[in-house]
Amino acid sequence: MAATTPATPPPGAPGGHPELSPPTAPPATGGENPLLHAAKLVREAVPPLHPGGRPVIAAVAAAAGAVRLLTGRGTGAGLLATAATAAFFREPRRVPPPRPGAVLAPADGTVALISEVVPPAELDLPREPVTRISVFLSVLDVHVQRIPMHGRIRSVEYRPGAFLSADLDKASEDNERNALVLETQTGHLVGVVQIAGLLARRIRCDVRPGDEVAAGETYGLIRFGSRVDTYLPPGVAPEVSLGQRTIGGETVLADLAVEKDGAGTTGTGTTGTTIVGAEKDRP
């Protein structure tokens, strides 16, 4: 009689061989390579550069390379100088708050002045006192400027001038500057002035009269220390305080629905301005 061969228990069953069990499947990663995923995270964490800074960065890198070739030294200092210059021209992504009447800060920095003044002549606004909010940018701040509201560029005018310290009140009238007037979708006029400072010797403005613009989008750049003034429509109250830090394209400077009453306090109401366009989606 032939001998009967005992059946082999299936892998993983009692008496089976653990070493023959199928390996555990790795956790699902969505099919994405881990290295590519890590590179994507790093790329998203590093802000892009404003195009206006690329020639400056290239010049600093070239100078650092020349010093290294001529002296055989200075590699670390050259890399540091190039990296610092690149950081100055960063243009981080910003998300405007969903407030249709909000006037957003045009720049990163510190609120240095809040005052009632007659707008400068180049803005061609009514010659009556309005609230001016001045944001001072140090050399460590992001130096791109952003549109404060949805609307259309009504005018742009450049004025040459001095290079006084940008935190001085008279810098608004004496320094080199570039002024624009934004006509909002509700018919209000908002003035924004880029002002050069002690170290700032170049103002760049990338919008022209007639351009349709969106709140928070980048429109200009000031190199190496500066100031940006925002002139609110008559009667609109500020929502920031002296010394407050602002984030360009996100911090709300004022709301067009909040007005100052005769006693200088604020309240909610309408300005009586005719609506010239319906609110529409923007990027």
For residue 118, count other CB atoms closer than 10 A to its CB: 14
Helix (H, G, I), strand (E, B) or coil at 55: helix
Write the DSSP string, 130-158.
Answer: EEEEEEEE-TTS--EEE-SSSEEEEEEEE
Domain regions of the chain by residue span: 51-88, 102-268
- Whose tokens are 């089976």? That residue is 16
Q: For the structural domain made of 102-268, what CATH number should be given?
A: 2.70.70
Q: Which residues are catalytic, by number?
A: 226
| Whole-structure pTM value | 0.71
Range from 27-31, 80-84, 251-255 that averages highest in pLDDT: 251-255
Radius of gyration of the chain measured on its C-alpha atoms:
29
Average pLDDT of the segment spanning 63-71: 83
Report residue 150's pLDDT band, with 50, 70 and 90 as the boundaries: very high
